[in-house]
Every structure is written in C-alpha cells, then in structure tokens.
Chain A
Amino acid sequence: MRRAGWVALAAVLLLFPLSFNNPYYEQLGSLVLLAAISASAWNLIGGFAGQVSVGNAVFFGAGAYMPLLFYKLWQVSPLLGFPAGIAVSLVIAVVIGIPTLRLSGHYFSMATIAVAELIRIVVSNWDFLGAAIGLTGPATPRGWWDLVFRSSNPYYYMFLAVLVTLLAITYAIQRSRFGYDLRASRGGERAARSLVVPVSSYTLYAFMLSATFTSLAGSLYVVKFGFIDPGSGFGILVSINMVLIAALGGAGRLFGPLLGAAILIPLQTETNNLFGGGGTGLTYILYGGIIVLIARFEPGGLFEMWDRLRAKWGSHAA
C-alpha cells in the first residue's frame, strides 16, 4: 500500500468514533474491530497456512471464560484472566494440532469442529462455569483495572491497539522465512517438503499464534460485554463468522479480514435492527448466501477481485 493509503487508513481508524459522537456508531466501530481481530487471527492458520479451522471458537470461548472465571473465583481484575485464556488456548491448539496437522485432507477442519462442539456441550453442562447461563463480570467498576467503561470508545481504542499489533506481527511474518514457507505449505505440501520446509511444525506455530490472538479477542469481547455463555463463546456461528469475514475480504491478505469485518458486521447489525429478535434465522440465511456467492464468484475474496479489476483496467489503459 502506498504511503497516502496508510495515512488515510490510519486517519479513518483513529478518528472514526470521534467523528460521529453517537453511541450506535461507537458500538458498531468497536464490534468491527473485534471481528477483525478474530478474523485476522483465523487468517494466520486458515489464510496463510491454508488449514481451514472451523473451530476457532474454542479459543475465543477459552479467552472469554477465563477472565470471568478469575473474577468469579477470586474477585480479581478480569485482566488477570487474559494470560490464563491464552495458556488454555495454546494447550488446546497443541492437543488438536499435533495429531491432525500431519494428516492431509479435511481431518484438521473436522477435528476443530468436533473439539469446539464437544467443549461447548461440556461447558453448557458444567456448573463450575455457569452451565447454560454462563458467567458475568463486575457490574460496577472498582477501578480502571476492571475495564468497565460506559462509553464504547475506550474499548474501541483498546481493540484498535490489539488489531494494529496483530497486523504488525502478520506483516512481519509475511516478509520472513516463516511466512514464505507457510504460504508454500499452503500451495503444496509435498513440494514444500521436498524443499525442506518444516510443514508440520510451521503450521502448528501458525495455529498456536492464531489461538493466542483468538483467545485475546474472546477476552476483549468479555470485558466489553461483561457476560459470556456457551453459545456466544463456543458456538459454531462464532467460528463461521471468523472464516466468513476473512474469506469475504480475502483469506491470506493482510487487510482482508478488516475489509470483511467492515462490510459484514454493519450488515449483520442492520439486519438484526430491521428484523429484531424474530429475524435471528435471517443471519443464517445471510451467511449461507454470502458463502455461496464467495465460493461461486470470488473465492479469493474482495481484494483479489480488486486486483483483477485493476489489472484489467491497466491493460485497457495500456
């Protein structure tokens, strides 16, 4: 991206909540960033390494539950639960990843769905974690460390800082040996191995990094909403959301998930507003429709479409 583009993007992201001074848009902005964090984290394993995880909700859920569990057990700041969520997520990533990332085909995807659903069912029936009702955080802040704010703006800037960190790490990875090898693994495992690319270990590292940031997204979600239940933490829609957002913008593209989130989240919010509680099923129809459209017309996402159009215009102009 050219320098002017970077400056414009930075200006839009920094000034967005201040420009509207409207709680609805402030909330919407923070939701877009949160979704962009989850989808960018998924992008590391699904986009760059080409291993489609359909169960990243397991890390989101772990990251969401741990801060509130820490609060419930010891009344400490939810912040202390952030690293615990990451630790739990890393253990799960290693346990799922080591046996399945060595296999070819869709075993990895199936394993991630199975583990996420299994954990959702266990959590739904485990009183220690609030069972189907879930867990709640501090209703009134005891200090800044409880991260309870009335306005969405502090959350917006907190999420923006995490997203920028994640994108900076992704950018550095793209330009490192690890990044080139990871993308080569996606392109053809057998050929990559013949060039001594450590496919299994690099894919596992990508999965662990993805788990770390997805867990962080879960922790950020829970400090903003102060509540988590099995459906909103471990539900299949949470995972599908990440895949869909990244695929819409462009899986394997640095800014693909951010673009996808900027389109899909307002669309979801608007359909929810239009149809209210009775329109919950419309979300599924919307997801299904988008999946069909992406798969049929633009499997590379909107960024790839943009590249193609630019090349076409360029050749016409020449």
Chain B
Amino acid sequence: MLLRAEDVQMDFGGFRALSGASLDIAQGEIIGLIGPNGAGKSTFFNCLVGDLTPSGGRVLLNEHDVTRATPEAHARLGIGRSFQVPATFEDLTILENVMVGAFLRHARVREARAQAQRVLELTGLDALADHKAKSLGTPGRKRLEIARVLATEPKLMLLDEALAGLTPVEVQQAIELVRRIHRSGITLVIVEHVMEVILTLAERVVVFNQGKVIARGTPAEVVNDEAVIDAYLGHSHARRHGKHA
C-alpha cells in the first residue's frame, strides 16, 4: 500500500472536524474525495500532506509512520499537494515557479531548469515559460500549480479542488492533463466538488459528511448510495442522472 490512513481524528479545541477516517491508497490509483462543505475532506487532505497533525490515528507512507512529519518531510518522501486557492509565486516567471519545485530533486540551477522545462511541456505551459505568473488567469494558475508539484517528482499527488472554477472546456483540458499525469505513473488523490471530474477520473470515491466517511466505492456505487444522495448529491441529481431507483 502506498499510503494508509488509519482512524484519523482531528479536533480543533472542542470541535471534532474529523472522526475516524480511514483510507488505503494503492500505487497507480486515482481516488476522489467528495462531500458537502465542512464535511472534513480538506481537513483529512491536510492531515495526509502534513499541514495538520491528527489528534488521533496514523498516516503511513510505504508502511513508514508519517503522522507527525512536517509538510517538508512529506514532500521529500514524494507527496505533493496543490492548494485550493492557487498559491503561485506572482513575481516569478512561470519557468522560475516550476524551478522552485524542481530544486527538491535537482540542486543545480541548470538541472532544475531542464526538469522545469520538461514539466512545462507536459503541462502545456512551455509557450508561456518567460511570462510572470501574475499574467495568468485562474485556469493557468491552477495548471502552473500542478506543474510546480510535478517538478518535485512526486509518487503521490493530492489535488485540492484543482479544477474548481473552470469553464466546461477548461475542465475537459484539465481532465486530460490529470490523465496524462496518471499515465506517467503518479498516484492521485483528488478533492473535488465538480462531480463530472470525479465520475470521469476516479477509480474509487470516498464520501465525507460531518467529519465521517459515509460511503466508499466505485463512482457508480457511490452515486447510488442512499446516504450519499441524502447528504450530498440530492435526489434531484440522482433523478437527473437516472441513478436512483
């Protein structure tokens, strides 16, 4: 198992944001995390990348306990993450942004630049390499953030609503990019509200509600799950997609 989260709990003072979430991620999978706002999926996400230290439970990467490891240690071990609100380095060029990620595995500037250029080609940003990051719109920034994580050569990438706020055409382009990344051998965990993305990409889906995992399974199983329909999708969604008897 590449990553295993066992009974992860997260308390903020007296408020329990996450109560006993577990997840096994095998090498090469694409897993979707969904749920309504405040369900605990971003908290769980942040526990997996080391941004939050769980109040209980364990997170294991290749059977090594990383529960209390820092975000930096997670990145070194091959876990990369994107941010819900793109956190690009505005005054750096697109190439320089990606080079900062590439420095993790390539200490020399020349090698980091070459790695960054390879990633820019993969993500379709190579034509804009010398533009400042602040010249990009939302889709470009989200793409750049993915590129920056890719440059760290991760084994596992966690994307936090990386496709939110995009137009349908941009979503299709982004889906194609995610597929390309997956084909290169990287395991993916996607937190997403856009159901189209989850249904198209994910092999397994985990559904959160009120800090608990309420369902897990293939996309087809999850969209037909009564608890998921009640808590998140709604009966109109189920009727519209003809999934619910």
Q: Show the binding face of A for B, using Cβ within 8 Å.
A: 175-177, 180-181, 183-184, 186-188, 190-198, 252
Q: Report if B67 contacts A (CB, 8 A).
A: no
Tell me, rounded to whole Å, the shortest Cβ–Cβ distance linking B86 to chain A: 9
A-B residue pairs in contact (CB < 8 Å), sample of 16: A175-B109, A177-B112, A180-B99, A186-B91, A187-B88, A187-B90, A187-B92, A188-B88, A190-B87, A191-B83, A194-B75, A194-B83, A195-B103, A195-B152, A197-B100, A198-B72
Question: Which residues of B are found within 8 Å of A186, using beta-carbon distances?
Answer: 89, 91
Given contacts A196-B72, A252-B91, contact A180 B152 (CB under 8 A): no
Q: Which residue of B lies closest to A50 (CB)?
A: B91
Question: Which residues of B are found within 8 Å of A177, using beta-carbon distances?
Answer: 103, 107, 109, 112
Question: Which residues of B are found within 8 Å of A198, using beta-carbon distances?
Answer: 72
Question: Which residues of B are found within 8 Å of A188, using beta-carbon distances?
Answer: 87-89
Tell me, rounded to whole Å, the shortest Cβ–Cβ distance linking A215 to chain B: 28
Tell me, rounded to whole Å, the shortest Cβ–Cβ distance linking B30 to chain A: 21
In chain B, positions 124-138 with a C-beta closer than 8 Å to chain A are 133
Tell me, rounded to whole Å, the shortest Cβ–Cβ distance linking A147 to chain B: 39
Partner of A194, one of B81, B91, B92: B81
Given A177-B112, A180-B99, A186-B91, 13 further pairs, Cβ under 8 A? A175-B109, A180-B96, A184-B92, A184-B100, A191-B87, A191-B89, A192-B100, A195-B100, A195-B104, A196-B72, A196-B76, A196-B152, A252-B91
Q: Report if B211 contacts A (CB, 8 A).
A: no
Given contacts A175-B109, A193-B72, contact A180 B100 (CB under 8 A): yes
In chain B, positions 62-98 with a C-beta closer than 8 Å to chain A are 71-72, 75-76, 80-81, 83, 87-92, 96-97
Q: Is the CB of B89 within 8 A of A187?
A: yes
Q: Is the CB of A180 within 8 A of B49?
A: no
Given contacts A175-B109, A177-B109, A177-B112, contact A195 B92 (CB under 8 A): no
Tell me, rounded to whole Å, the shortest Cβ–Cβ distance linking A312 to chain B: 14
Q: Is the CB of B76 within 8 A of A183?
A: no
Number of B residues near A (Cβ < 8 Å) is 27
The distance in angstroms between the C-alpha atoms of A191 and B103, with both chains bound, is 14
The distance in angstroms between the C-alpha atoms of A186 and B100, with both chains bound, is 13
Tell me, rounded to whole Å, the shortest Cβ–Cβ distance linking A60 to chain B: 27
The distance in angstroms between the C-alpha atoms of A198 and B100, with both chains bound, is 11
Q: Report if B35 contacts A (CB, 8 A).
A: no
Q: Report if B101 contacts A (CB, 8 A).
A: yes
Q: Which residue of B lies closest to A195 (CB)?
A: B101
Q: Is the CB of B87 within 8 A of A195?
A: no
Q: Is the CB of B100 within 8 A of A194?
A: no
Q: Report if B148 contacts A (CB, 8 A).
A: yes
What 1/0 mask marks residues of chain B from 14 to 41 whose CB sits below 8 Å from any chain A CB?
0000000000000000000000000000
Q: Is the CB of B72 within 8 A of A184?
A: no
Given contacts A183-B89, A195-B152, contact A176 B109 (CB under 8 A): yes
Q: Which residue of B lies closest to A311 (CB)?
A: B135
Question: Which residues of A are found within 8 Å of B88, using beta-carbon distances?
Answer: 187-188, 191
Question: Which residues of A are found within 8 Å of B80, using beta-carbon distances?
Answer: 194
Q: Is the CB of A195 within 8 A of B99?
A: no
Question: Which residues of A are found within 8 Å of B89, using beta-carbon distances?
Answer: 183-184, 186-188, 191-192
Given contacts A177-B103, A177-B109, A193-B72, contact A183 B92 (CB under 8 A): yes
Tell me, rounded to whole Å, the shortest Cβ–Cβ distance linking B112 to chain A: 7
Q: Which 5 A-B pairs have the closest CB atoms?
A: A187-B89, A191-B87, A184-B100, A188-B87, A196-B72
